[in-house]
Amino acid sequence: MHREKKIIHRDLNPSNVMVDHKLNLKVADFGLAKAITNSSQMTHSFVGTLVYSCPQIVQNQLYNEKADIWSFGCILYELLTLKAPFTGTNPLLLAKNIVNK
């Protein structure tokens, strides 16, 4: 997706990852995706599902396609442990827990 299609998804979460009958992974919902125009491009907008967001997004810093890798890691963690990778009783505490990983 990043190299071939030159796209950052920016909202990877369990509901946007599908598995077909041959166990192939499919990514859906590209509504918040952004095109990458060069290999070192960084972007700067707060989008996506907070619990799967990387610390850079939470802190409103520049980020690149590695934000999707972070989100995918959070999805894998949740699949393996059956619990969210980060928790908080409110969005501010959740954001703090993500940043303080």
Query: What is the distance in angstroms between the CA of the first residue and the CA of the last residue of the chain?
Result: 27
Domains and CATH numbers, the chain: 7-99 (1.10.510.10)
Distance CA 94, CA 57 (A): 13
Would you state the pLDDT for residue 87? 95
Strands (E), the chain: 7-8, 17-19, 25-27, 34-35
Q: Percent of the chain at pLDDT above 70?
A: 88
11, 20, 29, 68: the active-site residue = 11
Active site (annotated) includes residue 11:
yes
Q: Which two tokens stand for residue 87?
A: 């928790």
Q: Is the pTM of this model over 0.85?
A: no
Predicted confidence (pLDDT) at residue 100 exceeds the cutoff of 90: yes
